[in-house]
Amino acid sequence: MVNVILKSDSDKGLINRNIYGHFSEHLGRCIYEGLWVGEDSPIPNTEGIRNDVLAALQKLNIPVLRWPGGCFADEYHWKDGVGPKSERARMINTHWGGVEENNHFGTHEFMRLCELLGAEPYISGNLGSGTVQEMQEWVEYITFDGESPMANWRKQNGRDEPWKLKYFGVGNENWGCGGNMRPEYYADEYRRYATYVRNYSGNQIYKIACGPNDSNYEWMEVLMREAARFMDGISLHYYTIPTGVWEDKGNATGFGEAEWFTTLKKTLFMDELLIKHSEIMDKYDPEGRVGIIVDEWGTWYNVEPGTNPGFLYQQNTMRDAVLAAVNLNIFNQHNKRVHMANLAQIVNVLQSLVLTEGDKMLLTPTYHVFDMYQVHMDAQRLDLNYESPGYTFGEETIPQLSLSASRNKDGVIHATACNLSHTDELEVVVQLEAGQAASVSGQLLHNTDFGSFNTFEQPDLVKPVAWEGLVLENNTLRFVLPPASVGLVAVQG
């Protein structure tokens, strides 16, 4: 049993809704087949965007969507993706599978998708192989409301009014696929390119610098020292790879107890990364103005057998659900620095919310976690005091309980809880300090098989159910988390 003190009237700051953001790259079947089928497709669509996926994503109230990459961003030339589709340049996607990219999904289509989702667009600009002029003109094309070659071209292509664009990334993974740069070199390039990412027509851009890959603390140090005053946010990328071996990452399904434990142990490293990177940022930005943007995170396994290795298609199990919930709890706890996070990726790639096959679609266990957790968006984080029991496997031990809590604008308290143990249930007793709790309800995501996943034959094998057995008495809440489960509790005053 674990005892928790939850201070109902505390205020640990706003949980930025953008923590629940997503990422879409021209990679495998994420864009084409996943989000975009084209206006002439027999699959029901809205202006080329498939309706079933759109409806599923709308239910999540996705706050922000990143595009067009990823590694693809630093070889993407945006002018190839505007104008009549029959005249758009074709290219080979050399990063991902060597397939042809017809550029039918470009700036107009992406901005329309964001409008339909009600999401803020987050565009990654090409610093690796693009020019300063190209980046400057893209921002002008999207946001300028006036007379200019780019604004006039946008109007010729069917969009009279400019769009609002808040988030713009100046390069992506420039320490690797974005140019193999040294931090000192990229810092200077960032300063140069960011100068020309201008605010037009009242549009205010939040500029995001390419930050480190996982524990590259030197990169963070150099970027903050040399360029912090020119940025609003800095990215951080960390993928959970069960084996820690890039060439053989482990399988998405059919794993055993050891792989379950190792995967969760490795994903908990996210907390250490945020602590240590925040400490570096505090030296150069003590007021906390610059945000950490975790714009690529999630699991990365070996691809599904028989699929194109460059498409990064993997299944999604109850393990991924628990892992997603743990990371979201961690991001909530670091809400002072973490301004945004973007799960990689939204459809058919890596840790997806949705999988498609022809005209069929299914929701993954990770989708259900994001559905349950959206209650934390723009809510006030609450103070929690507890000591988790240990979850031991072999000679290693990690915390068994991951917990986060918030209070929304209507005064409803939500707590999200994960039991990381694959064998033991966990009784939790929460003392609600301050206020008077009147009622409780909840949802539970759980399956007795921790490797269970949804298929097109059984699309609802893993899904949330009403959480029976919640007890609220004298401002004390009691519940039992089954092994390998994710729970959501709502307490009304």
Q: Where are the beta strands (DSSP E) in 191-243?
A: 206-209, 233-240
Quick one: which H or E segment has residue 426? strand 426-433
Tokens of 1: 């049993």
Phi, psi for 410 (deg, rounded to 5): -95, 5
Distance (Å, whole) CA 70 – CA 79: 18
The HSE-up count of residue 300 (CA atoms within 13 Å, CB side) is: 21
- Which one is catalytic: 296, 357, 396, 468? 296
- Which one is catalytic: 33, 101, 173, 189? 173
Distance (Å, whole) CA 198 – CA 141: 11
Distance (Å, whole) CA 431 – CA 233: 37
Task: Please check whether residue 2 is in contact with residue 427, taking contact to mean a CB–CB distance below 8 angstroms.
Answer: yes
Three-state DSSP state, 138? helix
Task: Give 258-265 contacts, CB < 8 A, sequence gap 24+.
Answer: 258/393, 258/394, 260/319, 260/422, 260/450, 260/451, 260/484, 261/391, 261/393, 261/394, 261/396, 261/398, 261/422, 263/299, 263/319, 263/323, 264/319, 264/322, 264/323, 264/326, 264/398, 264/420, 265/396, 265/398
What type of residue sits at position 261?
F
Task: Please check whether residue 347 is in contact with residue 354, taking contact to mean a CB–CB distance below 8 angstroms.
Answer: yes
Tokens of 147: 């007379």
Tell me if residue 296 is catalytic: yes
318 closest CA partner among 455, 482, 452 = 452
Quick one: which H or E segment has residue 417? strand 413-419
Interstrand relation of 99-101 and 91-93 (parallel, antiparallel or unpaired):
antiparallel
Task: Please check whether residue 153 is in contact with residue 79, taking contact to mean a CB–CB distance below 8 angstroms.
Answer: no
**C-alpha of 177 from chain center:** 20
Which residues are tagged catalytic? Answer: 173, 296
